[in-house]
Chains A and B, each alone.
Chain A
Amino acid sequence: MNSIFLLPQAILESAERYPNHDAIRCSSKCLTYQELVTQANSVARVLTAEGVRPGDRVGIYLNKSVEAVTGIYGAMMAGAVYVPLDPFAPVARVRFVIRDCGIRHLVTSEGKAAQLEELFQEETGLQCLIGVAPRETFPTRCIPWNEVQQLAHEPLRVARITEQDLAYILYTSGSTGTPKGIMHTHRSGLSFAQWAVNTYAVCHEDVLSNHAPFHFDLSTFDLYAGAIAGATTVVIPEAVTRLPVSLAKLMESERISIWYSVPFALIQLMEHANLPSRDLSALRWVLFAGEPFPTKHLRAIMNLLPHARFSNLYGPTETNVCTYYHVPPLPPDSDEPIPIGEPCANVEDLVVDAENNPVAPGEVGELLIRGGVVMQGYWGRPDLTERGFYIRTSHGFLKDIFYRTGDLVQLLPDGNYRFLGRKDRQIKTRGYRVELDEIETALLSHPLVHEAAVYPVPDGQGSNLIEAGVILKPDANITPADLVEHVAKRLPPYAVPAKIILTDDFPRTSTGKINRRELQERAAAR
C-alpha cells in the first residue's frame, strides 16, 4: 500500500484487494473499486484519444456525482492535471480559469448545458466536452457518457509520469482581483493522504463523508485517504449539504464513520438537525478544518456525540494540512480557542518575525512550512510563487523551500500552536477563503462606484458575513441590489457581500485611508 506514488494508483491497488467493495456512493448510484477503475480507465482512454498528453489540464465541471469522481481519476490516469471548476461560480469566472490554465478538455454533464452555452459566447479554447451530446451551440467535439462506457474493455493503463508531476490545480480567491491556481503534485497530494490514513487509522470498513466540493481542498482527504484505505466515500450532493436534516439522515443511513467538513456545517447540524434523535453510532472521527471552531459550539457538539473523537486539521490549500490537534474533553468553564496543534509527520515548522528571523518559542510570528505536503507553486504566476516561498538553508547546508502561510501563530508550552490571525486581508466565510481585496476590485469595476470598502462581520456562528460600504460617483442612480448583481457575475456565491451599504463618506485614518477597522466595529455593534 505504501509503494504507490501516483494518486490514481490508490484505486488500482484497492481494486486488487477489494474489487467488489463500494468505492463511491452518491445519491442512488454507486461504484465498486473494480467499476471505478474500469470507468476511470475509459475516461482516460477517451481523453488520450482526443489528444490529452501528460501535463495537460482537464477541467471537471459538473455537480458532485459518480461521474465527477470518474472524471477526476480518468484525467489523472491519462497523466493529466485535473482542475475542478466550481459548478456554481459565475460563467465569466469559470471561463477565466479555463483560459488561465489552458484547459482544452472538459468533463461535464447535461445538467450544465445552459452554463456551457453561455461559456461559448466568448472564446474559451475548449476542444472537447465529455459527458454531453453534441449541440449546434457547442463548437467542440462532444462525447456523451454512453460512448465513453463503450471503451470499458480497453486494457488498464496509467500514463508514465512521476510523483513530481502535477495531479490537480485548485483555484482560490486572489487579492489582485482574479483567482489563482494552486498546483499540487501526486507527491504533495499523497503526502497528506497517506499521513491521514495513518493518523486516523482509516481502514476499508470505514465510510467517509465527502461534504466539501471538489474545488475545495478538504475533498482530497475524502477521495484519496478513502481510496488508499479501500474505504467507501459517500459523495454528498450539493443540495443535501444545504439542508441539515437531510444531511443528518444521510449520515445515519450511510453509517458514516469518518466525517470531515468546515465547522459551519457541524454547527448547522447541531442547531437544526436534532442530532440526539439520530443513530450516529458508527461515527468514530469528526474532522474539521477551514476556520476556527468556536469553543462553545465545539464543546456542545462533542457532548452530543460522546462516542466520536474530534480533530482539528489546519493548513492553507498550499500545504494541504500541516498541523493537527486531537481535541481533548473541553472544560465547561472556558471558551479559550482550541489550538491548531502540532506539525504533521514529515512537516517542518518554523516561526519567523518580519525580517525572517526565527522567533523564540512562545513569541508571535508567521508560520512557515516545509515538507512533502507543500504545493508546487501558483499556475502561471511565478511572481506570486516567489512571494509565497522562502528559500532557507536547513541543517547548515540544505537549501529548501518553506511556504509562508501568512498566518500568525504562537507556540504554546505544551508544543501546540495557537492561531492568532492573518498577516493580510484574507478572511474565511463558512470555511471558504476569500480575499477582501478581490471583492473590492469587483465593486470598483462598476463604472458608477467611486470608493468601496469590504470587511468581515462576525455572524455569531463562528464565521463571518461579508459586508461592503460603497460611495457612488456623483449623480449615480443605482441601488445596492444592482451592485450585488454586478459582483455576482464576477465572484463565487460565497464571496458576494451579504449586505452593501451606500454611504456619503467613510471613517478615515489620519493619513486619509479608509478606516476599515472602524467600519467593521460599527457593523458588529449594530
Chain B
Amino acid sequence: MSTEAILAEYIEKELAKGRKSRIGYDDDLLSEGIIDSLGILQLVAFIEDQFGIHIEDEDVVLENFMSVSALTRYLQSRKPV
C-alpha cells in the first residue's frame, strides 16, 4: 500500500468517525473538521508506530498536517520510502 493509502485508510477508519467516509488526498483535514486536537495526537502516534520514526513536536504544524498529500511529502522528506 502507498503511504497515501495507509494514511487515508487510518484517518477514515479511526479518526473521521463517520464525518467523512472517503478521504481525498488533498482534502483539508483540519479546516473541514475531519481531525480534531485529539485526532492529531492519535495520528502522530500511528505514524510513529507504522513508519518507525519519531516526529518532533516542531514538525506537527499546518504545513505538514493539512492533508494526506502534505503528510506524505513530509514523510518522504524524513526518509526514503
- Show the binding face of A for B, using Cβ within 8 Å: 63, 87-88, 90, 111, 237-246, 249, 264, 268, 272-274, 430, 481, 484-486, 488-489, 493-494, 496, 498
Contact = CB atoms under 8 A, between A and B. Distances in A.
Contacts of B60: 243-245, 272
Contacts of B35: 242
Dominant SS among interface residues on chain B: loop
Given A245-B61, A272-B57, A498 B38 contact: yes
Interface string B27-47: 010111101111110000000
B18 A244 contact: no
Contacts of A246: 61-62
A430 B33 contact: no
Nearest to A271: B57
Contacts of A481: 13
Contacts of B58: 245, 274
A242 B37 contact: yes
Nearest to A268: B37
B19 interface: yes
Contact of A489 (B18, B32, B40): B18
Given A243-B40, A245-B60, A494-B36, A238 B31 contact: yes
Contacts of B18: 484-486, 488-489
Nearest to A494: B36
A262 B9 CA distance: 32
B17 interface: yes
Contacts of A484: 17-18
Contacts of A111: 31
- Which of B13, B33, B35, B66 has the most chain A CB atoms inside 10 A of its CB? B33
Interface of B: 13, 17-19, 28, 30-33, 35-40, 57-58, 60-62, 65-66
A273 B33 contact: no
6 contacts: A88-B19, A88-B33, A111-B31, A238-B30, A268-B37, A486-B18
B37 A493 contact: no
Dominant SS among interface residues on chain A: helix
B81 to A, nearest CB: 24
Contact of A238 (B19, B33, B39, B57): B33
Given A240-B62, A242-B30, A430 B57 contact: no
A241 B60 CA distance: 12
Contacts of B17: 484-485, 488, 493, 496
A493 B36 contact: yes
B19 A90 contact: yes
Given A63-B31, A272-B57, A274-B57, A239 B19 contact: no
Contact of B31 (A237, A485, A489): A237
Contacts of B65: 243
Given A88-B33, A268-B37, A489-B18, A243 B61 contact: yes
A215 to B, nearest CB: 13
A272 B37 CA distance: 12
Nearest to A483: B18
Nearest to A240: B62
B23 to A, nearest CB: 14
A244 B33 contact: no
Contact of A239 (B38, B39, B57, B66): B66
A239 B61 contact: no
A87 B38 CA distance: 18
B40 A242 contact: yes
Contacts of A238: 30-31, 33
Contacts of B13: 481
Contacts of B37: 241-242, 264, 268, 430
B55 to A, nearest CB: 11
